[in-house]
Structure 1
Amino acid sequence: MSTIGIDEGDFMRCCDGTFKSAIRFDGFREKGETWWHPFSQLSHVNNYAMVHLWLEARRAGYQGSYADAVAQDPEMCRRFLAPKTADHKPYDGLVNYAYHIDTIKLGRYLRDLGKQRGVRHITDLVTDTAFDESGNITAVSTQENGDIAGDLFIDCTGFRSLLLGKALGEPFRSFNDALFNDNAVAMRVPNPEGKRDIRPYTTCSAQDAGWIWNIPLYRRTGVGHVYSSAHMDREAAEQALRDYVGPAHEGLEANHIPMRIGRSERAWVKNVVSLGLSGGFIEPLESTGIYLVELGLTLLRDHFPTKSSMLPFAKRYNRHMAAYYDEIRDFICMHYCLTDRTDTPYWQDCHNHGAIPDSLQEKLTLWQSRLVSENDLDYTSGVPAFSAVSYNYILAGMNALPNGPLPAEAMHDLGLARAVFEDRAKGIEAIAAQAPDHMDLLDQIHRAG
């Protein structure tokens, strides 16, 4: 947002925004257990990897979680503290943060901004496509505005994939063997008058055949049940969501969403580039939908073609996007295949997962001996979607830890580890003392417009 000159406060007001410093996972390893994926991280102290210091301290009796040991975010979230103060510069804060936003309002906001900057906006239905002799699309035919010609087309038609999938026939690679969830049902729950406990984090709560998201916005809360249709029908899924919401669900409409999980073999074919759902989708457990759109746009900016450069740019773009989707698939799969739950058929199938991707299985085998290093991640197609610290948050949260230390780890100074974590605890208190209440800061931002 900062890159394209969007004011942070204006953006938050227009999109019903709140701050997001972490994701909390409830019940994914065992019922009743909670772990965090924070957005901040401290990876090294005195050239020692924090994860190794934490493991050594843990073996010596340290009780703190890995997330609490290396990040301030979980404790700030538990106290409902904002990640920044009103005096911070836009897009800067005490800790790293993202946003909870109304995506429909975001779309309208960006549409209006584009029009202000000279973009021509046409609302219409595409009825047909025209091709040249080499198979490139020359124009799309519309119901009300005739033919719209172009040199490069960006397919943003959602799961329908009208240009990449339908017109060009690009094959789709399903991820359903690795990721079982293929449906969602969502509701918009108005916030009660005077609600003050708006969480500065997303909550993902494991259910009998999937999980429920809880995304707190300024004026409402978005909830949705992501589930496997092989383990639960749509009526039961909707009822589970209504039970989760409680009495506030009365009179609210539920929106059922079939999800096409996977990616197109190629995201850029001929002169068509797919972005978002048209090129692929992975369930929103780690909020990667908008992230993948941003990655795609950044890559397209860096590879914006002439006609002569279209083919080599497309080849490189496809390699990058395929790597991102496959990495995120593996990262999401870790939340399921590492579970200890066997209390329902769904969790039994997750626990006894028979289709872990080879790319993930190789890493999990390595990580049985030690936790994740940046050297384990694939940089051949650009910067990985997630850092080594993020992988370690998942492994630690799911208690998938090495059995014993490697020789290099045995050389770590246990006294240093204890001192580091004591200092971290003091540092958290110092930052928390500066942070305002989340709702107080939101009120200040939203009432300023």
Structure 2
Amino acid sequence: MDRPIQHIVIVGGGTAGWLTAGIIAARHKARMPAGFRITLVESPNVAIIGVGEGTWPTLRTTLEKMGVSETEFFRHCDTAFKQGGKFVGWTTGAANDAYYHPLMLPQGWSQVNLVPHWLQDARGRTFSAAVCPQETICEEGLAPKTIATPEYRGVANYAYHLDAGKFAGFMQRHCTEKLGVHHVLADVTQVKQDETGDITGLVTEQAGEIAGDLFVDCTGFRALLIGKTLGVGFKECRDVLFCDTALAIQVPHEAEDTPMASQTIATAQSAGWIWDIALPTRRGLGYVYSSDHIDEEAARAELARYAGTKAEARKIPIRGGHREQFWKNNCVAVGLAAGFLEPLEASAIMLIELSAKIIAEQLPARRGVMDIVARRFNEVTHYRWGRIIDFLKLHYVLTQRTDTAFWRDNVDPASVPERLADLLRLWKYRAPWFLDEFDRLEEVFPAASYQYVLYGMGFRTEVDPLENGASAMLASRMLEENAAMAQKMRANLPKNRDLVRKIRDHGMQSI
């Protein structure tokens, strides 16, 4: 039947469910008086995973469009600033082995590629410090803005660290109170389908039957609709990304005024890496590892040594990969139901945002055109997942470490995706830049991100001095401007913890 799409039913809460509900509701709120509805059905008996604490700058735009107060977001979600990632021990494992993937583009990004000029004359500067002020800001423990900077605006680009459990509750209140989303607490006992395979409704234990036109599966790893009901398969990527388990703990700060890092710290271990995320009230830590290369007891011991505590860690299995289809019939999977990859570059929440944004902006008017939208959604989403897998593997394949089997196995050419291997060969003679190899609107990591990882980890590109000479003056000016900008920010930005405290006490200026 070519029925109009008037009722969207989201199954599952958590970050995926409530972000999806909010993004769609904000986009279509004007249609609600005419009968358009969004219902989120959430089990009162299923706990959320709740460890996704790192985000991308995209969340700023998402929350602003939803009408969320950034001040209230900080007050209610234990929120802090994130200005990038610091990768410790990934290249050689030596005491001074560290590099940054900041959230700002290199200076003069659209005018000149600074890589060849830095390679010719690094002057003792790391790549990210030479081309971007953000490494300096992070190393000094500074915030990306001041209390006078309005909500969602920054002196430096930023994302967030947050408490995922508190964030889900915060989003629930905003969606139901401000955006008209209907919330049903009920356990789904049966999924009804018609003869075409479309889902027609959910039978619930507490709320009876709930019919709908489009169903969004946010049921996490259970994948109740896309997997169990519609039978869509799962494509694993353990042949590329070996980590399959995480051990997560929360530890208190040493004192209330302990400096708070504004970068996610990822520290390499014998068989994986440990995330370290600073929130105002605590730190979130987790060891992401390969069970083929270390047993659980030894992994717990490594995490305890890093954390300085033997607190019991929560074990979370990681099934790395994604659905073979993300949108089938009248059901689309978002969040963990769609797939999951190790959280090395905090891509999980960003993928929720991008998927929900496509659903909201390309929402089919009628069932008759839904399959067209679904095909486009699947193509774009497949491409994005593939590029994230490539980028995560880049961090491993560039290592020079040979101290354990985990690091040795990661440089095996058989584990490197073909597209990434081709780019690495190309980049030996030409540094990535701007739109050279990144020519699709669906790119999730720009060429700048590849630059930060490549040259942070010691990759070398052969430089032609003659070709380099044509842009030498412009490059020199950009490098000098970056150094001046870094010093200006260093002098004028507050400490990260101090600003977060001021935001909680006094609030930011609304736009």
Q: Same fold (TM over 0.5)?
A: yes
Q: Which one of 201, 206, 229 corresponds to residue 139 of structure 1?
A: 201
1:403 aligns with 2:459: no
Alignment partner, residue 382 of structure 2 = 322
Report 1:155-170 matches (<5 A). 155-170=217-232
**Alignment-mate amino acid for residue 430 of structure 1:** K
- Distance of 2:186 and 2:299 partners within structure 1: 34
Q: Which one of 36, 51, 59 corresponds to residue 115 of structure 2?
A: 51
Q: Which one of 30, 34, 40 corresponds to residue 104 of structure 2?
A: 40
Q: Secondary structure at the match of 1:77?
A: helix
CA offsets 1:220-245 (integer angstroms, 9 cap, x no match): 11000000011112222122111111
- Distance of 1:222 and 1:16 partners within structure 2: 12
Report 1:63-212 matches (<5 A). 63-117=124-178, 118-212=180-274
- Distance of 1:260 and 1:289 partners within structure 2: 13
CA offsets 1:39-86 (integer angstroms, 9 cap, x no match): 01235379322223323333xxx2211101111111011111110000
Q: Secondary structure at the match of 1:185?
A: strand
- Distance of 1:279 and 1:24 partners within structure 2: 28
75-84 or 39-48: which moved more?
39-48
- Distance of 1:277 and 1:119 partners within structure 2: 22
The change in CA–CA distance for 1:82 and 1:433 in structure 2 (over 3 A counts) is same
1:393 positional shift:
0.4
Q: Which one of 309, 316, 324 corresponds to residue 265 of structure 1?
A: 324
**Alignment-mate amino acid for residue 428 of structure 2:** Q
Alignment partner, residue 274 of structure 1 = 333
Q: Secondary structure at the match of 2:119?
A: helix
**Alignment-mate amino acid for residue 27 of structure 1:** G
CA offsets 1:308-341 (integer angstroms, 9 cap, x no match): 2200000000111111110000000000011110
1:423 positional shift:
3.2
Unaligned runs of 5+ in 1: none
- Distance of 1:206 and 1:46 partners within structure 2: 33
Q: Which one of 331, 352, 358 corresponds to residue 391 of structure 2?
A: 331
CA offsets 1:130-162 (integer angstroms, 9 cap, x no match): 100110011122222222211111100111111
Q: Which one of 421, 435, 439 corresponds to residue 361 of structure 1?
A: 421
**Alignment-mate amino acid for residue 401 of structure 2:** R
1:429 positional shift:
0.7
- Distance of 1:89 and 1:352 partners within structure 2: 48
1:416 positional shift:
5.0
- Distance of 2:482 and 2:78 partners within structure 1: 34
CA offsets 1:363-398 (integer angstroms, 9 cap, x no match): 111111111123333444x33101111110011011
- Distance of 1:204 and 1:87 partners within structure 2: 31
**Alignment-mate amino acid for residue 151 of structure 2:** P
- Distance of 1:253 and 1:124 partners within structure 2: 32
Instruction: Work out whether residues 398 and 411 of structure 2, in 8 Å CA contact, stay in contact via their aligned partners in 1.
Output: yes
Alignment partner, residue 352 of structure 1 = 412
- Distance of 2:221 and 2:110 partners within structure 1: 48
Alignment partner, residue 445 of structure 1 = 503
Alignment partner, residue 275 of structure 2 = 213
1:390 aligns with 2:486: no
Instruction: Work out whether residues 200 and 211 of structure 2, in 8 Å CA contact, stay in contact via their aligned partners in 1.
Output: yes
The change in CA–CA distance for 1:406 and 1:363 in structure 2 (over 3 A counts) is farther
Q: Secondary structure at the match of 1:25?
A: strand
Alignment partner, residue 25 of structure 1 = 87
- Distance of 1:205 and 1:150 partners within structure 2: 46
The change in CA–CA distance for 1:279 and 1:45 in structure 2 (over 3 A counts) is closer
The change in CA–CA distance for 1:264 and 1:441 in structure 2 (over 3 A counts) is same
**Alignment-mate amino acid for residue 422 of structure 2:** E
Q: Secondary structure at the match of 2:183?
A: coil
- Distance of 1:46 and 1:397 partners within structure 2: 21
Q: Secondary structure at the match of 1:293?
A: helix
92-101 or 404-413: which moved more?
404-413
Instruction: Work out whether residues 124 and 145 of structure 1, in 8 Å CA contact, stay in contact via their aligned partners in 2.
Output: yes
Instruction: Work out whether residues 370 and 401 of structure 1, in 8 Å CA contact, stay in contact via their aligned partners in 2.
Output: no
Q: Secondary structure at the match of 2:266?
A: strand
Structure with more contact order per residue of length (Cα contacts < 8 Å, sep ≥ 6) = 2
Q: Secondary structure at the match of 2:247?
A: strand
- Distance of 2:110 and 2:369 partners within structure 1: 47
Q: Which one of 349, 352, 358 corresponds to residue 290 of structure 1?
A: 349
Instruction: Work out whether residues 183 and 226 of structure 1, in 8 Å CA contact, stay in contact via their aligned partners in 2.
Output: yes
Alignment partner, residue 33 of structure 2 = none
Alignment partner, residue 49 of structure 2 = none
Count of equivalent residues:
441
1:433 aligns with 2:476: no
**Alignment-mate amino acid for residue 457 of structure 2:** M
Alignment partner, residue 222 of structure 1 = 284
Instruction: Work out whether residues 184 and 226 of structure 1, in 8 Å CA contact, stay in contact via their aligned partners in 2.
Output: yes
Alignment partner, residue 304 of structure 2 = 242
294-303 or 234-243: which moved more?
234-243
CA offsets 1:98-134 (integer angstroms, 9 cap, x no match): 1100011111110111110321112222222110011
CA offsets 1:225-275 (integer angstroms, 9 cap, x no match): 0000111122221221111110xx34x331100011111011111111111
- Distance of 2:105 and 2:439 partners within structure 1: 20
Q: Secondary structure at the match of 1:354?
A: helix
- Distance of 2:110 and 2:77 partners within structure 1: 42
CA offsets 1:405-427 (integer angstroms, 9 cap, x no match): 375335342x5544442332122
The change in CA–CA distance for 1:2 and 1:384 in structure 2 (over 3 A counts) is same
Q: Secondary structure at the match of 2:277?
A: strand
CA offsets 1:275-331 (integer angstroms, 9 cap, x no match): 111001111101111011011111111211121220000000011111111000000
77-86 or 403-412: which moved more?
403-412
Instruction: Work out whether residues 107 and 479 of structure 2, in 8 Å CA contact, stay in contact via their aligned partners in 1.
Output: no
Unaligned runs of 5+ in 2: 1-62
- Distance of 2:419 and 2:363 partners within structure 1: 30
189-198 or 222-231: which moved more?
189-198
1:423 aligns with 2:485: no
